[in-house]
Amino acid sequence: MMARRERILFFKCLILDLLWRLFALDDFSISAVNYIEPMIEGNQYELQCDVYNVPAAQSLTVNWYKGETLVTQTNFTNTFESPVNKTFILLIHPKRYDDGAQYKFELKPLEISKSVNITVNFKPVINETILPSVVPVFRGYPVNLSCIADGKPKPIISWKHKNGIIYREYLTVTESTPENVVCVANNSIDAVRREVKVILKEDYLPLIAGLIAITVAFISVIFIFIYSIYYKTAKMGRYSLKDAKPSAQNGNIAQNGRDNSIPMKKLSQSNILA
């Protein structure tokens, strides 16, 4: 009696499974619940898949994918004697890089799959690399500041200072710009600020260049003066022997190339011996 009942139950489940496969393959849905599209970064949401008429006495596997990556896997068995409706939920915390990501629900071995793409909005983030917190400004040399922010929806950029508000991505600062300016990036999610301190500095480059030029000129004058003295001294110590004629000695002794004016008398031998 028990064996007969089990056979009847087996064939009943088999027939129901066949009928479900034939007529209920599309009888399911997937959706995100508890939110109004789009999703907001940092919040928690539920992806929900409703499957109707799940076959009785079936061992099934539920897979959730994000793109091609398996996020979670669950095994369960429908212990009821008739098909039932099942709801499967996946909790997600979307980030900004999840914008446009695809989540897929898969039910094995029934070969059911369903996908949904999510849209994620996020607050602005100002690029601090191109907008430093301190900016030096020299007199006569304006500086252009750029405020670039990433966000969805696209943020509106504005500059605030004591003279008013300017709506654009760049700001030209000069020596007359107030000491502090603030970049504000605003969208429907949030508004973020970046304060910039403008420091006025004096440009000493022209002064330094002038001092260098004066120093070089002064050294040049000294060098020319010393060279002129040296040149004159060297020229006065030179003598020219051009057209000079040596004097005939005529029996006189010449000393150092000059004639001796003292007459020389020839002595006899007797005078020498005396």
156-177: string of b/e by CB count within 10 Å (b at 16+)?
A: bbbbbbeeeeeeeeebebeeeb
Confirm if 57 and 16 have CB atoms less than 8 A apart: no
Residue intervals in the chain for CATH 2.60.40.10: 22-118, 123-202
pLDDT per position in the chain (274 positions), as tens?
A: 545 655 555 555 555 455 445 444 455 666 766 666 789 998 999 998 888 877 776 788 999 999 999 999 998 887 777 778 888 899 999 999 999 999 999 988 878 888 889 999 999 999 999 999 999 888 888 899 999 999 999 999 999 988 889 999 999 988 888 888 999 999 999 999 999 999 887 655 565 666 677 777 768 777 777 767 766 676 665 555 555 555 545 444 444 555 555 555 555 544 544 4
Q: Of 97, 83, 110, 102, nearest to 21 (Cα)?
A: 110
Confirm if 178 and 163 have CB atoms less than 8 A apart: yes
Confirm if 195 and 133 have CB atoms less than 8 A apart: yes
Q: How many CB atoms lie within 10 A of CB 252?
A: 14
CATH of span 123-202: 2.60.40.10
Q: Which pLDDT belongs to residue 22? A: 46
Q: Which pLDDT belongs to residue 147? A: 96
Q: Can you give the C-alpha Rg of the chain in angstroms?
A: 53
Whole-model pTM: value is 0.60
Q: Which pLDDT belongs to residue 25? A: 45
Name the architecture of domain 22-118. Sandwich (2.60)
Q: Which pLDDT belongs to residue 129? A: 93
